Structure 1
Amino acid sequence: MRESITPIGATLPSAILNVIGELQHNPNAVRIQKLLFYLCRDQWEGDCTRLDALSWYSLIEEVRQAYPTFAQLRSRLTYQIGTLNKSAEYALIGQIILSILERAYAQDATTIVTASTRATTLDQDVNISRIKKLLIYTCRRYWEANSCVIDQVSTAELLNELMQRYPTLEDLRPGLSTIVKTLNKPAEYSLVAEIILREVEPFYGKKNSGSEPAQAERIDLFDVRREILKYTNPLKAKILLFSAVYYVFEFCPQDWSNLKLYSLDGLLRTSLTQVETIDEFQQLLIHKASQLKEPETYLEIVPVLTRSLKSSYYTLRQTLLVSLRASSVADATLASSTQPSL
């Protein structure tokens, strides 16, 4: 059996490591692996060489993502065993699997309870269908367009899967950003991503209390913000930055609702990733300001924003990009050709 049980760089809870270790070193490990493979892929693999090419970690994670609750796992495993020629023998293997994996699911239960409180709020959001679509795509790597299927998927379970895939907020934010950029409607789904982040952020705050803040969060925008507040209307500055980052603000109720999801600092950080130089940044602002209602008002804001960032634009941008690349390296290989219809 292959000894690698976790991916390079992975940090797993000790309880999960213990579960994987028990399965790997069980005397029936080969049969356990065959049954788990059959459970995940719905096909029987008798070639031990191919089985050895799989890490136990990836196999267990595949099981947990396919069957988010222990009840679902038990039910499906029982059914799958019943289809085998040696069902009596594999029923015993199934019991070994269930007795060991039950602890992993028990650990997840606390997270699920916490996630359910956030899910209640999201379920009441007018964008719940898109929220679930993005969560499914982010967690399970496929696009679900069937509204009946989407309605049946538990938001709480999706949030639980999301927090398993991205253990920290510093992992989640760039991860979502990377995924949103692969979609046909990145502007709309950037807003959906912000709704999700807004709801799960308090939970991550509790999980990571006392931890070192992300490099992106250490970017000092105090002087920039002070300059903006001193010389222009901060709300209008937000409208202009929002237009530069997402879509041209049209002053409709939905636009105002979307704008509330963003802080001035957040929009400034995101705007730093849009273009490479301060001159390009200025041209972007001019272009977007000219498309807004009362363009002359927003054109007056352009030099204020440009001046406030000019001396530190390159440094701030490089610091932010380094942080984003470091946090999102696991998602960088997501197929850019994947363009699901929305």
Structure 2
Amino acid sequence: MVEKERLNRAIAQLAGDSDTNRLKKLLLCVCQQRWENDSRRLESLDWRLLLNELRTTFVTREQLEEALVRVVARINKKSLYFNLSLRAIAILDPLYPEIEPPMAFDEAFLPFTQGNPSDPSLDRWFDLRLQLSQSGNLSQAKTLLYSAINGKFAYTLPDWNHLNHEEFDHLAQSLLDLCKTASELRLRLYGSAHCLNPVEVYQSIAERLCRTMEQAYYASLIQPFEPEAVGDENLDDMTIDGSMLPRNTMLNPTEAQTTDSPQLQREQLDLGKSDHQTVIGLDQDVEAAVCEAANQHLQAAIAAVDQQTEALISKVRALLAHTDPDTANAIETRILHQFTDALGQLYHQEDSG
């Protein structure tokens, strides 16, 4: 029943869209690899039949996104149909429910500089910007980011002047703010790369950007280790020797069956509390050191994942060396998506366990 309601809602949105025929033309081409220009045939085509065929052909959202990218890359009105692809994916998204809960975007994600992102002294994009600068791709990366944000692929002189004044950091952060999921980020970057020339160069840049920026969506599942705060309210519930036993228990020799005066009891309590605070302080120092060690190992684990990702890319490319370039690119993209998604699901399972 829920699935039927989702399908009906998607059909109503597509049928009521001001570009309903263009959306139908685009999705028909994705399914049947033909471009229908006859408006009467398009109008007579039932949305329900088309969506059923679409879901049979593309069983995952990732497969549908890759197919849309390939279609948009081959047609003339790239900007128009790229934005229509984004609209179609947004409407069809409920028909492709996630197996795992969606991963929230984490602004202060781990691969970049640690700390408060609002602190101007921290440059969280430094490493990525440096890599692109050293490879001579920073300007093209800005073009790709701008296109991914605005769905624009043909630039006039004023456009280039405007783009030259845009900071890479601002463009990268704007794209992250725009994309609510890693899947949308991939669609925008790889889709834009297919619409710019030379395609191979922009695909390589999209891969580098995606590999780094995607981690923002998984970092929320990898929380840094922090020592637990111990406040005075916790001390009040503890005995003088630091145990959590009630103060009137026989196992607490400092207060059980005491015959001391109330004033002496208060003095003993104050002294004991001071001694215990010293012990707690020492414990917190030890715990902070343990957390620091854990964070160092966490960073090492992230570096190991990056290293294994690079190794996987090299291996896949070697295996696909004699494959048709378009097919090879599609396979490589899909494998990388599945690899990063599997990592995210692994973190989630460990966290929930």
Same fold (TM over 0.5): no
- TM-score of the two chains, using structure 1 as the length reference: 0.38
TM-score, normalising length from structure 2? 0.37
Query: Larger Rg: 1 or 2?
Result: 2
